[in-house]
Amino acid sequence: MKLVHLAFIVVVGGWAQLAGSPDLALSPSSDPIPQTYFGMHIHRATTTTEWPSVPFGSWRLWAAAVNWLKLQPGRGVWEFGTLDRCLDLAQKHHVPIILTLGRTPQWASARPEETAGSPRNPAPGGAAPPKNLSDWQNYVRILATRYKGRIEAFEIWNEPNLKNFYSGSPEEMITLAREAYSIIKEVDPSALVVSPSAVGPTGAAWMDRYFELGGAKYADIVGYHFYSGAAEPEAMLVRIREVQGVMAKYKVNKPLWDTENGCCFPVPKSFKSDREKSAYVARAYILDWAAGVRRLYWYAWDNQELSIPFTESDDIHTLPAALAYTEIEQWLLGARMRSCGQDRRGTWMCQLSLNSRHRAWILWNPGGHVEFEVPKAWGVGFLKQLDQEKRSFDRTAKVDVDFSPVLLEEGDK
């Protein structure tokens, strides 16, 4: 098999098309992949869920009973117990927190009887902006003050382009973001602010309007949810490119975080085996970084309703997909991704530098089985699989590549 030489590329907007061929190459950051890239959601960390047995580097508090309507069920009434316990756990395990604001309490809502037509989010008034801006300002200030130095980042709102999460206008969201940004930076200048994180095929258009109105001024980080629905994880590359195009249009040169991703919204995906589920998780983490995303928060550790659960119904015992999360983290953590692209046969090849003198390559083909002839110059000595199997590799051998990524590591057998 003739190998693609990823050095000869033409870069357009952070993406690259291999010159003179139909092959696709991405342009990953050359920075070492940090622990914080491997994000997680935990819904019931303070009740039934034991702390995850897999390592992760950041925790997004969403669907964890700590949104506005849970924290302030009545005017002047505050219930901080759950959030306090979450932050104690995070501190104990040295994991930074991103807290998502929003979900307006009914007493503060501009439309207190509105249900937004969603059985998933039945709380009346929760999708509407607050009636009085002062209630929002007070909420943000109290959180920023109480948890100064303990919350790494505040995300303005969850999925504002979906009516079941937000029924207001982009103009109203700009006002909320402006006030929140100003208050958070005044109280805790070190805290980061993440833009409202849109999702799906309508999200980029919503973001375009939001940035047109000046919303990028009120964020340190651009958030988005790059779910690919029932498609393969490679499908999210189209959405990432679309979002990066909007950012380029408005000259928004800020980190892009995938603050919620998993499998599979809005359409469930059918899998034939645990091996397919594990491969999906691994490819999502490889591709997000390769495409320029700096964090990915997996949704979720303790949610068995999803197509790829990580735990059994007891919220404790891990399933193979969780082990794959651990394995792909071991492959990527601290490495520099030098290149990542797809050749004419559909095989993805991502080259890693594990240190200044040690290299590795991740290979997979989402379309089926191919025989890959490994160049002798790679000096491959070992092959690793997502099930944590590691074996010696004959440098004259070929590799059968399929949908499940394998790691070819340089070194003596």
Provide the residue ranges of all domains of the chain, joining segments of one domain with +.
9-26+339-410, 36-337
Domains 9-26+339-410 and 36-337 share a fold: no
What is residue 262's three-state secondary structure? strand
Cα–chain center distance at 25 = 21
How confident is the model at residue 355, as a pLDDT? Answer: 81
Can you spell out the DSSP letters for 265-309?
SSS----SSHHHHHHHHHHHHHHHHHTT--EEEEE-TT-TTSSS-
Residue tagged 């098999």 (tokens): 1
Question: Can you give the pLDDT at residue 6?
Answer: 34
Max Cα-Cα span within the chain: 72
Position 397 scores a pLDDT of 79
Query: Which SS3 state, helix, strand or coil, does residue 137 take?
Result: helix
CA 117 – CA 79 distance, rounded (Å): 27
C-alpha 408/C-alpha 382 separation (Å) is 6
Residue 138 token pair: 């007070």
What is the structure's pLDDT at 23?
A: 58
Backbone φ, ψ for residue 238 (5° rounding) = -65, -45
CA distances to 105, 224, 300, 326, 355 from 129, rounded to whole Å, are 10, 20, 27, 39, 49
Alpha helices, DSSP H, located in 72-223: 81-92, 133-146, 170-187, 203-212
Half-sphere exposure for 228 (CA within 13 Å, toward CB): 16
> Crossing angle for the helix pair 236-249 and 203-212, nearest 10 degrees?
10
What string of pLDDT tens digits covers the 413 residues of the chain? 333 333 323 333 333 333 223 357 899 999 999 999 999 999 999 999 999 999 999 999 999 999 999 999 999 999 999 999 999 999 999 999 999 999 999 999 999 999 875 556 668 999 999 999 999 999 999 999 999 999 999 999 999 999 999 999 999 999 999 999 999 999 999 999 999 999 999 999 999 999 999 999 999 999 999 999 899 999 999 999 999 999 999 999 999 999 999 998 778 899 999 999 999 999 999 999 999 999 999 999 999 988 999 999 999 999 999 999 999 999 999 999 999 999 999 999 999 999 877 999 999 999 999 999 999 999 999 999 999 999 998 877 789 999 999 999 998 75
CATH number of 36-337: 3.20.20.80
The sign of the CA dihedral 88, 90, 93, 94 is negative
Beta bridge partners of 256: 222
- How far apart are the C-alpha atoms of 164 and 377, rounded to whole Å? 54
**Pair of tokens at residue 340:** 């990542």
Q: Please confirm whether the linkage preceding 86 is cis (ω < 30° from 0).
A: no
The pLDDT assigned to 118 comes to 58
Q: Determine the CATH number of domain 9-26+339-410.
A: 2.60.40
